[in-house]
Structures are given as structure tokens and as C-alpha cells.
Chain A
Amino acid sequence: QVTLKESGPVLVKPTETLTLTCTVSGFSLIKTRMGVSWIRQPPGKALEWLAHIFPNDEESYSTSLKSRLSISKDASKSQVVLTVTNVDPVDTGTYYCARGHYDEALDYWGQGTLVTVSS
């Protein structure tokens, strides 16, 4: 069955770079039409779509965060990596990865990983 699982640091200091990994199973990151998105949610607030990587390695980013985000994948490891540079306390929240396609939106989600940005 399809699963996604996020991993990464629990605590990051301001100005540092945050690196998150999404490990997937049950589908291929290349031999498929489905890509993977990252979404985040500050405590008590709404969901925010961040980035998407397509099977052909094309990328799409949130306009407001584009300068600080980078998404990549290692298909051999079934992993998708998101980096967020120069983090600030407002980047605190739960980060989710999810499988997606423009015809079907986001169908399977990981459980999420909570990241706190604090000195």
C-alpha cells in the first residue's frame, strides 16, 4: 500500500537551514504520473502548500517562499527532500509530504513532522 513518512530535526535555530526527508513506499517516484508535494501547518493555523516535484524532476514552488525552498528526489532511495534556508520562528509548524497529481489533488499524506524554530 502507499505510505509516506516525514523525518527531520525537531528543533532548528533561526537562520539555519532546515532539511526534511519524505520516504515513500508503494509507488515509484519516476515510473508513475504522481509527484510529491510538501505542505506545512503552523500551530492552530491553516495548511500552506510549499512545493512539488514531478516524476520528470520538474519543480514548482510557493511564490512567497520560492527563494528559500528547494525540493529534490532520490528515486533509488524512494526519498523526496525539502530544504528551507534561513529559517525564522514563523517557520515553526508541522510539515507534511503528500502524493499528488493535477487530476487528483493530494491523495496520500504522511503523518507529519513537527519542527520548532527557536534559539
Chain B
Amino acid sequence: DIQMTQSPSSLSASVGDRVTITCRASQGIRNDLGWYQQKPGKAPERLIYGASSLQSGVPSRFSGSGSGTEFTLTISSLQPEDFATYYCLQHGTYPWTFGQGTKVEIK
């Protein structure tokens, strides 16, 4: 199975900060990487798929990049509604696998 290593596991940031979250795959997955946002008590919501394709309706401050084994999710200017937990998902090779999550907290 492909292992997804996500970092950091948590971070504290202020409104307006630029935030970067990284996922590393244990083997190459082309650009088959998605990013999800999950708020407490809610189902995850897709932000990015195919490493860099933005889900319709998601603010442009979210962006994804990378290919092969290293990927990043960037929030260019953190907003109050962005405090949540973020997960990566490799969706190129079955079984699909998630990263361990990154909790973004208010500083």
C-alpha cells in the first residue's frame, strides 16, 4: 500500500498568515492527490483534486501543487473559517490512503 506522510500534524497561525501543509507519498502517485477540509462534527469537504485542480466554489486562497511523491496545500491568507483539520488522499492507486491530518489552530 502507498503510505501518505502528512506534516505538520498541527500548527498555530494567525488570520492573514500564509500556511503550507505537506504530504509525501511512499511511492510515486503522478498527480493523483486530493486535499480535504474537515470541521468538527462535519463530513470532510474536497478542496483540491488531481494535486492542483480547485473544487468549484472553493476560495482561490487555497491552492495545491506537486507531483510524484511530494505535494503541498497552501492557504495564501488564512481566514477565520479556515481553522479546521486538513487531510490529503492519494486517489491514483487502490487501496486509496489518507494522510494523518493537520489541525490548523488559532494562534
Contact = CB atoms under 8 A, between A and B. Distances in A.
Contacts of B1: 63
B49 A107 contact: yes
Contacts of B91: 100, 102, 104-106
A8 interface: no
Contacts of A62: 95
Most chain B CB atoms below 10 A, which of A39, A60, A106 = A106
Contacts, number: 62
Interface stretch (A15-23, A25-33, A71-79, A108-116): A108-116
A61 B44 contact: no
Contacts of B92: 102
How extensive is the interface on chain A, given as a class?
Answer: 20 to 34
Nearest to B95: A62
Contacts of B50: 103-105
Contact of A46 (B34, B43, B87, B95): B87
Interface stretch (B13-21, B66-74, B75-83, B97-105): B97-105
Nearest to B94: A60
Nearest to A110: B43
Interface string B33-45: 0101010000111
A63 to B, nearest CB: 5
Contacts of B55: 107
B49 A37 contact: no
Contacts of B101: 46-47
Contact of B95 (A49, A103, A107): A49
Interface of B: 1, 32, 34, 36, 38, 43-46, 49-50, 55, 87, 89, 91-92, 94-101
9 cross-chain pairs, A with B, having the tightest CB-CB distances, nearest first? A105-B34, A60-B94, A105-B91, A109-B43, A105-B49, A49-B96, A47-B98, A46-B101, A46-B100
8 contacts: A47-B36, A47-B89, A47-B101, A48-B98, A103-B50, A105-B32, A105-B34, A105-B49
